[in-house]
Amino acid sequence: MAGDPLGQMTIAEKGITNGGGSQTNTDGRWGDYSAMSADPSEVGKFWYTQEYYSTTSNSSWKTRIASFSFGNIFSTVTTAAPNPVCAGDSTQLNVNAYGGSGIYTFSWSSIPAGFTSTLQSPKAAPMDTIKYIAVTSDGTLTRSDTIKVNVQHKPVISAGADTTVCWYVITVDVHGTASNYKVIGWTTTGTGTFTNASSLNTVYNPTLADKIAGSVDLNLVAIPNLPCSGNVISSKHVVFDVCTGINGQPSDTPALLLQPNPAHSSVAITTSGISGSQADLSIKSLDGKVVYSENVTLTGKPSVTNLSLSGYANGIYIVQLKTGQQVITQKLIVQ
């Protein structure tokens, strides 16, 4: 035992069976047939198997299998259920003690630190994977055991920023983000369709009914990995505007409108000004580099340029409409 004096054994020696003879063949390999195993269901119990001879012979050995127990061994077994667990959900910790005095005290701690308890079977609600340590004392000896509880997190998702688009657009770019999910998909409160409802980056095709309603919600739905349950939803609110920022009447004042903004794969640039006047339309990065430029002829009524943003890095751009001495500037966010 752990507390025995040096050079002494406090448990008396006992025999399992006595052989009645010996092996006359000197080529025997006895170690191949010897094994010791701890009983998986009873603490302090061991199983042993070995050869022996009941009478002297060349090779007529026999095999004996036996068990023995140390009834007063002080040991512990620590468990947690369920394991793994979803972040924030509870798991039942438990430590079972065997042997010793039979009267035990318990002390729980954790790595990382933060959890303590003196109960034999406390509950815990870990937010991240953690190791729980149970220290058990019978008044004389102390035993410790650990259990690692693996934690799965619920999905973290975003359907993207709310946006306003002109009523005449035929598609709405959708750009979502998600992590820790099993399956994701898009739904809508409107009657439109998605080109690919199971992709984070897709396109929504609004219907006339959507535009008449004035707005729709595009919902990104994520199914979590087990053992987490319950879908997680993030919504993007899309407003369909008649674009009164540039009215349909002839105007003597240059005007510039970007829809949608923020944008993902394309942007509709609406311009207006004195009929027949020339204007320079440009897009610059924040470091001043011109990434797009065009000379446009203003008609006096709104004119739309649909620009693909393929190849544009995510970030902020400056859009300018310059005519004569007038410059109209708008900020474009690409995400």
Per-residue pLDDT for the chain (335 aa), expressed as one digit of tens each? 666 788 888 777 888 889 999 888 877 677 778 899 998 877 778 999 998 999 999 888 889 999 987 766 777 889 999 999 999 999 999 999 887 888 999 999 999 999 999 999 999 999 999 999 999 999 988 889 999 999 999 999 999 999 888 877 888 889 999 999 999 999 999 999 999 999 999 999 999 899 888 899 999 999 999 999 999 999 999 998 866 555 444 456 778 888 888 888 888 888 877 777 888 899 998 888 899 999 888 776 777 888 889 889 989 999 988 887 688 888 898 88
pLDDT for res 244: 53
CA–CA dist 182, 86 (Å, integer): 14
Contacts of 47 by beta carbon, 8 Å cutoff, 6+ apart = 36, 37, 38, 39, 65, 66, 67
> How far apart, in whole angstroms, are the C-alpha atoms of residue 224 and residue 197?
17
Sign of the torsion angle spanned by Cα atoms 248, 253, 259, 265: positive
As a whole number of angstroms, the distance between CA 5 and CA 11 comes to 12
Token readout for 209 is: 């009914």
Q: Which residue has the tokens 């610059």?
A: 284
Q: How far apart are CA 273 and CA 208, in angstroms?
A: 29
Helix residue ranges, H only, the chain: 208-213
d(CA 269, CA 335): 17
Side chain identity, residue 78: T
Q: Give the contacts of 204 (CB within 8 A, at least 6 positions apart).
A: 171, 172, 173, 174, 186, 188, 192, 193, 194, 216, 218, 238
- Find out whether 274 and 321 touch, Cβ atoms under 8 Å: no
pLDDT for the residue 249: 47
**Other beta carbons less than 10 A from residue 40's beta carbon:** 7
Compute the residue count for the chain: 335
**What pLDDT, on the 0 to 100 scale, is given for residue 55?**
93
Phi, psi (deg, nearest 5) at residue 182: -95, -45
